[in-house]
A and B are shown apart, each in its own frame.
Chain A
Amino acid sequence: MMAHYEAPIRRPLVTGDKTYHDVTLDVVAPVEGRANKHWWIVFGIALTAFLWGIGCIIYTITNGIGSWGLNKTVNWAWDITNFVWWVGIGHAGTLISAVLLLFRQKWRMAINRSAEAMTIFSVVQAGLFPIIHMGRPWLAYWVLPIPNQFGSLWVNFNSPLLWDVFAISTYLSVSLVFWWTGLLPDFAMIRDRAVKPFQKKIYSLLSFGWSGRAKDWQRFEEVSLVLAGLATPLVLSVHTIVSFDFATSVIPGWHTTIFPPYFVAGAVFSGFAMVNTLLIVMRKVSNLEAYITIQHIELMNIVIMITGSIVGVAYITELFMAWYSGVEYEQYAFLNRATGPYAWSYWAMMTCNVFSPQFMWFPKLRRSIMFSFFISIVVNIGMWFERFVIIVTSLHRDYLPSSWSMFSPTFVDIGIFIGTIGFFFVLFLLYARTFPVIAQAEVKTIMKSSGERYKKLRESGQSLVGSGADPRTSGGPVKINLDGHYQAAQAEVVSDEPMIPEDTHGNDVLINSLGAFDAATQKADDLQKVNGIGPKMEEKLNQLGIYTFAQVARMTKADYDLLDSITGSFPGRAERDDWAGQAATLNNN
């Protein structure tokens, strides 16, 4: 069918011999299976880090912000560095699910679920910092414009910190419903497979009674598209607003108009790096190599390369503008970054962010899983330093030399950061064991256009009509049940295109027991000489690799049944006609 046409230049996005049913099985495997020892070890480490982080947060809140390394000059450091870092990481999820949806990028389908999970979990981490870095976090609700008993005392809508509140909460909540709506069909799939009553109950609850009606799907797709259309400007605006925290200030090194797009590019850069880190591990651990292929990793690396280059251009632009501006404060801010007491962090940032993505120009490197993994971690380190450099180096030396100072973090600063990393992985590890980590309903829609199995079928000139059937779920004769019991009917399909139950699942087993046909040394027999094998059946047998009387003669009852389930027509015919016996006679003649 033309509907599944895809240019031959495109490589398959789902490799291997996967049918729709295989997608189901592969996606539910981690959910239905049990966690292994490694999972528990990693989970234990993450949980410990998380608990340590909670301890540090409680320590901060009960003892005061003075337990951090901040001082009167540098009053934002690790707190807001981590906040921006986590928000930035979160952005790739929305980029993958929304922007790539708008651009109809089919490769997003295998990674969008995990990328969105990463978004949600990292925005949760980010959301902690605006609260715990407050001196009086118990009054945090005062940031909301709620009518109150102070004559109705409101908030000031001029502050980017208030815009942050609106941006982050909108971003988190919209990402959450976007993610959840996409999960409904997948939860429904797990629900309908669940055997244990508890699992069934949980997934029934989670799937909101999704039934997969045509009208539901029509609305579902429209909702996804509109949400993607809303999430794209949202993701740009959120990091823009985060960048306004600095860009709208009067601090040299902060007051720049380049920040909004530059922060967004940096967010995509670090976010994709984090997705890459997580998926390289996940594809291996959850056996999803057929869905998250080298091609996916390569494409993510290309995005990292492009956004890394944008970030590089932004660095050069900043340096040029500082020189060009003629403002000594601005020029000193950059001189200080490059040669001052924090030069090491500036050069660490430059090395990680400007040089490391440039390796991706080499196909050999960007197609290497080990190298991608290494670079993706380097990028996240670099992007952490970027925020640290922007925040700390601009604050510790600015207008008045008498208020110059230094900054060094305390164990509480570090502990909270480690705690958020632990919390992130606690959430992500739990997600990986309970959620369908691949949007199976979406992957099934691209199977026929981008699945390797179907691409091969199409290239060999065969129709894809009927090729979605899987012998494990839909073999056997047509069943008709009109009055309470089944009757079998023979499938005689009248349609424009012939049904070819092409399949290679049972095929291998069949050929193993019957022996393979080697066109170079053997000659094909006229199988139609066997009574009961017509031209159609001969064609089917040939497709399965059965060409000679000798092969047919080796058939046993088990092989007949297998043949029936593969071809799905004329059940029991081969046995009744004793094809093996006939073939043996013909073979001897």
Chain B
Amino acid sequence: MAHSVIHAIYTDDDVLMNAVKEVKKKHLHINEIYSPFPVHGLDKAMGLAPTRIAITAFMYGCLGLTVAIVMMNFIMIEDWPQDIGGKPSFSYIENMPAFVPIMFELTVFFAAHLMVITFYMRSKLWPFKKAENPDLRTTDDHFLMEIDADGQNAQELADFLVTTGATEINLVANEEA
């Protein structure tokens, strides 16, 4: 079945925010909004769920700390418990202060990199990925709101969007869905 969406283009972030509220009031479904910069409060107005990426970073950090402790405990205490300059290698805790810098660094390393990789995977960003913004102007100073047009009167919808401040409205057949 042909799937159609309306692309409404706005030229101002405040107008966009008002428009999102108006559109939400009419219980229309906003598929997506493309914007050239983060519009603060837009995710709340659209009703997007908060991101959990910070939680993943915390877990990755815990993993990094564990890796550091296990690695240094094995190498310095279990495998070759040597006397290097009189440092007490009898137990991990006795020589722990010398391990703190690397415990710290690996915690940060794991948290930062794995979180960024998670972000790239979740947001589908990678080197040869094709950009998906439907209008090139949305990386300059235009904002594009994509609304489900199925089962709607396109003309009526367009007229309504004009009242919300849209400067350009396009009905697009969407092949993806």
Contacts and interface: CB of A to CB of B under 8 A. Distances in A.
A166 to B, nearest CB: 4
A157 B76 contact: yes
A480 B155 CA distance: 9
A184 interface: yes
Given A185-B37, A465-B14, A480-B158, A222 B54 contact: yes
Interface in A443-492: 444-445, 448, 464-470, 473-474, 478-483, 489, 491-492
A156 B84 contact: yes
Interface in A214-271: 214-223, 225-227, 230-231, 233-234, 237, 240-241, 244
A205 B127 contact: yes
A570 to B, nearest CB: 14
Interface in A472-520: 473-474, 478-483, 489, 491-497, 499
A214 B11 contact: no
27 contacts: A3-B14, A3-B41, A154-B75, A157-B98, A163-B101, A208-B125, A210-B125, A214-B42, A215-B123, A219-B119, A220-B38, A223-B119, A226-B57, A230-B112, A234-B108, A241-B105, A244-B101, A468-B11, A468-B15, A473-B11, A473-B140, A479-B167, A489-B158, A493-B164, A493-B165, A494-B163, A495-B15
B109 A192 contact: no
Interface in B139-164: 139-142, 154-155, 158-159, 162-164
A226 B98 CA distance: 27
A244 B33 CA distance: 50
B120 A208 contact: yes
Contact of B37 (A145, A192, A193, A441): A441
A177 B116 contact: yes
A587 interface: no
B12 A166 contact: no
Interface of A: 1, 3, 19-21, 24, 145, 152-158, 160, 162-163, 166-167, 170, 173-174, 177-178, 181, 184-185, 188-189, 191-193, 204-205, 207-223, 225-227, 230-231, 233-234, 237, 240-241, 244, 440-442, 444-445, 448, 464-470, 473-474, 478-483, 489, 491-497, 499, 568
A212 B169 contact: no
A19 B158 contact: no
Given A145-B75, A163-B105, A214-B48, A469 B171 contact: no
B66 interface: no
B33 A214 contact: yes
A1 B14 contact: yes
A473 B105 CA distance: 47
Interface of B: 11-15, 18, 22, 32-43, 46, 48, 50-51, 53-54, 57, 71-72, 75-76, 79-80, 84-85, 87, 95, 98-99, 101-102, 104-106, 108-109, 111-113, 115-116, 119-120, 122-133, 136-142, 154-155, 158-159, 162-171
Contact of B123 (A219, A465, A495): A219
A166 B105 contact: yes
* Chain A interface helix/strand/loop/mixed: helix
Q: Report, nearest first, the 10 A-B pairs whose CB atoms are least far apart.
A: A209-B129, A469-B11, A468-B12, A20-B141, A474-B11, A208-B125, A192-B136, A444-B37, A217-B38, A163-B101
Contacts of A568: 167
Contact of B116 (A145, A181, A468): A181
Nearest to A231: B112
B90 to A, nearest CB: 14
